[in-house]
Amino acid sequence: MKEFEEGLKLTRTVYIPFGSVEEHGNHLPLSTDTIQAYEAGKKAARLKPLFVAPPIHYGNCRSTSCHPGTISISTTTLKGLLKDIVRSLRSHGMINFIVLTGHAGGAHRMALQDAGEELIAEFSDINIAVVTEYDLAFKEGKDIIETPGDAHAGEIETSRILFSHPALVKGIGEKEFPQFPMGILVRNKRNYWPNGVWGDPSKASAEKGKLLEEIVVKKIVELAQEMEVYQEL
């Protein structure tokens, strides 16, 4: 309790990492998204005073819901989690909220965005940023990655886990670029995406992972600094 109270004298900004329990091929852990988001936040807090909330391990995973190991929650539950967490943290004095998700599913991201919009409408004294790691690293990281269209359990994510948790990488995943029917909603997406990889894990390296993580950490620090001076026009 004392450390929390002392921390409020240094910052009113909190980083909330969202991840998922989701398949990442046969070579990466189910917690890949959570690991990436949490590690980046902890390292950012070493460079700038910043509260780092415990990670939220579950997310909404539609495309991988039929793959072994994926545990998906509804977008309604996801929104409720973020709103309840922010309300509670605000009651303890937080005013700036960086919501960073390591899971980049479309419905997942939109649920967090919707919750953020509802929260800033509910409270006039808070600021919220909702971003994905991909958003933060895209521009500066594009020259590091060799695989066009790399997205899930491929070169990017395999590199990140090779750097931060090499013991959790088991073998080399297979290169895969799934093809879904245009516009048609399919029940079992694994029929079109058998191995759960979107990209080329064989091009991954720990050095690439280190560089990518450094970019994300830098961007988190910059975002925290921007939020602390931000004023609504």
* Tally of domains in the chain: 1
Would you state the pLDDT for residue 135? 84
Q: Is residue 232, in this structure, part of any structural domain at all?
A: no
pTM of the model: 0.95
Q: Is residue 3, in this structure, part of any structural domain at all?
A: no
Would you state the pLDDT for residue 231? 73
Q: Half-sphere exposure of residue 126, counting CA atoms within 13 Å on the CB side?
A: 27
Alpha-carbon Rg for the chain in angstroms: 18
CA–CA distance, 86 with 94 (Å, rounded to integer): 8
Q: Is residue 4, in this structure, part of any structural domain at all?
A: no
Q: Tens of pLDDT along the chain (233 residues)?
A: 999 999 999 999 999 999 999 999 999 999 999 999 999 999 999 999 999 999 999 999 999 999 999 999 999 999 999 999 999 999 999 999 999 999 999 999 999 999 999 999 999 999 999 999 988 888 889 999 999 999 999 999 999 999 999 999 999 899 999 999 999 999 999 999 999 999 999 999 999 999 999 999 999 999 999 999 987 76
Would you state the pLDDT for residue 137? 86
Q: Is residue 80, in this structure, part of any structural domain at all?
A: yes
Q: What is the CATH number of the domain that holds 45?
A: 3.40.50.10310
State which residues form the domain around 124. 12-227
Q: Is residue 114, in this structure, part of any structural domain at all?
A: yes
Token pair 């919707």 is found at: 114
Strand positions, DSSP E, the chain: 13-18, 51-52, 96-101, 127-132
Would you state the pLDDT for residue 233? 60
CA–CA distance, 147 with 206 (Å, rounded to integer): 16
Would you state the pLDDT for residue 123? 97
CA–CA distance, 116 with 134 (Å, rounded to integer): 19
Q: Is residue 2, in this structure, part of any structural domain at all?
A: no
